[in-house]
Amino acid sequence: MQPLVEMTNLTRDYGWWAPKRALNQLNLTVNAGEVVGLLGPNGSGKSTALRLLLGFMRPTAGTVRLGGFDPWNQGPMARKTVSYLPGELRLYDNLSALELCQFLGKLHGGFNMPRAVSLARAFDLDLATPLSSCSSGMKRKAALISILALDTRLLVLDEPTNTLDPAMRECLLDQIRLAKLAGKSVLFSSHVLEEVEKVCDRVVILQKGQLAASCASDEMRSGRKITARIKMPLLTPPPDGEGLIDQSQGERLVFEVSEVTPEMLRWLADQPLDDLRIEPAAVSRLYRSIHPDAM
């Protein structure tokens, strides 16, 4: 089956006098039913790649295909494949959240009203709310409901959790999981490693417009990073052989281990902890090796 997204040596320059290369020979595919995370700090080329994919800009070199179509020359057919959430929202403030759903639905040939109502309940938003009276977080929720209610094969989300509170971020990640179970593909960019580790089958890391690394699901979930904050000095030293990598600040400990052993859990339970987080280590380790100043 042909991938929904195909980028081959995709390149984009800005300016004509002294052009600046924003994207340099990017190769990326997204297959049916796959969730792919696009990582990198500001200026790494994430948004440029997504705009080229949607046909909002013309590539300087290379090719891009969306649903088998050239998004620049065959834009209407290519964009029927996708629901897109931009990183910077510009909504019609004269509409309500429901009217926004209906408007975007007409552009895509209809939307699922029961689905929109269910999403509004999940995101805790009244669809009758005028967008003019919405906070930035409420507008983000209205936009998410609008695109998630569309019947498309691909979701493209640019920094989708911006302005959302923690509960709504988890709600969105749940919706991404449900989209995958329904056979949809998802491509989304994020600064938050924990988000992509939770839901992605694969992550791609960009650096200065180039593909710096990729990490598949098996690699992503290998090893664990343990971050602990302690209220007072440790009562006992860590177990021998456990991977303490950072104690530069006395109240903060960071471990990287291949697995969280019962011995490690017992030791943590005996310490005066103020906070504890256990998360996959592979993506954060890889990202830190490429962007050490961004962590």
Residue showing tokens 């987080």: 277
Entry field: residues in the chain: 295
Residue showing tokens 């931009």: 86
- Both structure tokens of 160: 């989708």
Q: Please name the residues in contact with 69: beta carbons below 8 A apart, sequence gap of 6 or more.
A: 77, 78, 81
Neighbour-count burial of 293, counting CB atoms closer than 10 A to its CB (0-12 exposed, 13-18 middle, 19+ buried) = exposed
pLDDT at 53: 96
pLDDT tens, 1-59? 789 999 999 999 998 888 899 999 999 999 999 999 999 888 899 999 999 999 999 99
Tell me 111's DSSP state: B
pLDDT at 52: 96
Query: Which amino acid is located at 123 in the chain?
Result: F
pLDDT tens, 91-149? 999 999 999 999 998 888 777 899 999 999 999 999 999 999 999 999 999 999 999 99
How would you list the strands of the sheet with 273-280, edge to edge? 244-246, 252-257, 224-230, 273-280
Interatomic CA distance for residues 145 and 121, integer angstroms: 10
- Is residue 226 very low, low, confident or very high in pLDDT (cuts 50, 70, 90)? confident
pLDDT at 243: 65
Could you tell me which of 53, 1, 288, 27 has the C-alpha nearest to residue 188?
Answer: 53
Task: Tell me the mean pLDDT in the region 142-171.
Answer: 92
23 and 62 Cβ atoms separated by less than 8 Å: no
Q: Which pairs with CB-CB distance under 8 Å and at least 24 residues apart come from 40-46?
A: 40/189, 40/205, 40/206, 40/207, 40/212, 40/291, 41/191, 41/291, 41/294, 43/208, 44/206, 44/207, 44/208, 44/209, 45/206, 45/208, 45/209, 45/210, 46/158, 46/189, 46/206
Tell me 86's DSSP state: -
| Cα Dmax for the chain | 66
pLDDT at 174: 95
DSSP string, 214-255: EEEHHHHTSSEEEEEEESSS-SSPPPTT--EEE-SSTTEEEE
Interatomic CA distance for residues 251 and 232, integer angstroms: 7
pTM over 0.85: no
